[in-house]
Amino acid sequence: MIPHIAEASSRKYPYEVLFRSLHKLLMDTASSEYLFCDDFFGKESIFYEIFAGPFVVIDEHFNSILPNCFDAIGLMLMIRIIHQHQIIMSRRRIPCLDSYLDKVHLCLPGFGVI
Q: What pLDDT, in 10s, does the model give residues 21-61?
A: 999 999 999 999 999 999 999 888 899 999 999 999 999 99
pLDDT at 1: 64
* HSE, side-chain direction, 13 A CA sphere, residue 73: 2
> At residue 99, does pLDDT exceed 70?
yes
38 and 25 in contact (C-beta within 8 Å)?
no
pLDDT at 113: 46
Look at residues 89, 45, 54, 93 and name the one whose alpha carbon lies nearest to residue 102.
89
In the chain, where the domains are located: 3-107
Identify the band that residue 83 occupies on the pLDDT scale cut at 50, 70 and 90. Answer: very high
